[in-house]
Structure formats: structure tokens, C-alpha cells
Amino acid sequence: MTEIVVVHSWKDDQKDKVMDFANKVTSMAKEKKLPSGLKLLGIDLGQGKNMAVCKWEADSLNHLMEVAKSLGPTWDIQAFEVKNVYKKGLF
């Protein structure tokens, strides 16, 4: 499994579609209905910004992006693998 960060950014007129997308993904995670190999770790919304950051564990970046595309987003999505180099309390 690899850790992935996905950054969503949208225009004001896309907000309803983005929130529907987020609610669908959140519901799937809560109901344990995400596709095999995907685990949603968290979603952070930018206060007063049209931006959200999602944290995932996935078997691959490609798999995560294929699933995301199947849900039909129409806004900008950037995704990349991350490696934790510091976490408070671990050092």
C-alpha cells in the first residue's frame, strides 16, 4: 500500500457537484463499499477556498485515479504519492 494525497480545486459553479462527489466517496468509505485496495484516511476542506485535500492508502496511484474518474469529476484533480518524513511524537 502507498499513501496518496489528492488535491481537488473547483470553480464556484462546480461546488454542488464536488460536494455530491465528496458525500458519495465518504458514504462508500463509511459503509466499507470502496473498491478493494482503497482506504480513505481523511478529507480536509480549505476554509473559504474552493479546495479539498484527500488522504488515501491505495494499492497504486493508477487504481485510485481510475476509480475517481469513474465517478465523473469535472474539476481539477492532482494526485501524487507521498512519503512521511516527520510526524510529531514519532521522533
Q: How many domains does the chain have?
A: 1
Please, which pLDDT band fits residue 88 given cuts at 50, 70 and 90?
confident
Whether 9 is in a domain gets the answer: yes
> pTM of the predicted model, to two decimals?
0.89
Strands (E), 1-91: 2-9, 38-45, 51-58, 76-82
Q: What is the CATH number of the domain that holds 43?
A: 3.30.70.100
Please, which pLDDT band fits residue 85 given cuts at 50, 70 and 90?
confident
What per-residue confidence (pLDDT) applies to 84?
Answer: 86
User: Is the pLDDT higher at 91 or at 78?
Assistant: 78
What per-residue confidence (pLDDT) applies to 91?
Answer: 62
C-alpha 13/C-alpha 69 separation (Å) is 20
Domain range for 76 is 2-82
Whether 27 is in a domain gets the answer: yes
What per-residue confidence (pLDDT) applies to 89?
Answer: 80
What per-residue confidence (pLDDT) applies to 87?
Answer: 82
User: In whole angstroms, how large is the CA radius of gyration of the chain?
Assistant: 14
Whether 91 is in a domain gets the answer: no
Whether 16 is in a domain gets the answer: yes
| Look-up of cell digits 481510475 | 66
